Structure 1
């Protein structure tokens, strides 16, 4: 799972004692907050897969964390390429102007 892989990159977690930053009213995303290097990170775990749920999660994240400077939305959004019997591919695509 991509969420677990990214969480392993955290150098420090801020929410060991619970969510100290709070969420906007109506934001039901699950967040992990902390540091990767010198960068403040808010990592969201989607409750459901799909493009609409991913878009809603990104919108809610912006409401809860108003000072976001970079958002990377990664995942398969429920898609599963099929190339014949016994051959399925899972993967993600990240599109960005730059990488920090």
Structure 2
């Protein structure tokens, strides 16, 4: 898993996907300074340090969902129907 991190960052630098980072500021495995690396490499990067540990989605679902909705609303082309006209790639990495 860790050997792929360099590839991920290279992909981000090359392709510049809009990125939402919701990070637990109390994560005991990965310090919050890791979130700043995303901001250095990506032009459209929304970083939020949540008052959670390693699993912000599980520990603060309401805030996480609000951030996701706001992020998507500002970046997707809504076609007026009940769905967004875009493919969303969701990667959940469980350490």
User: TM-score, normalised on structure 2?
Assistant: 0.34
User: What TM-score does the superposition give when structure 1 sets the normalisation length?
Assistant: 0.33
More helix by share: 2
The structure whose Rg is larger is: 1
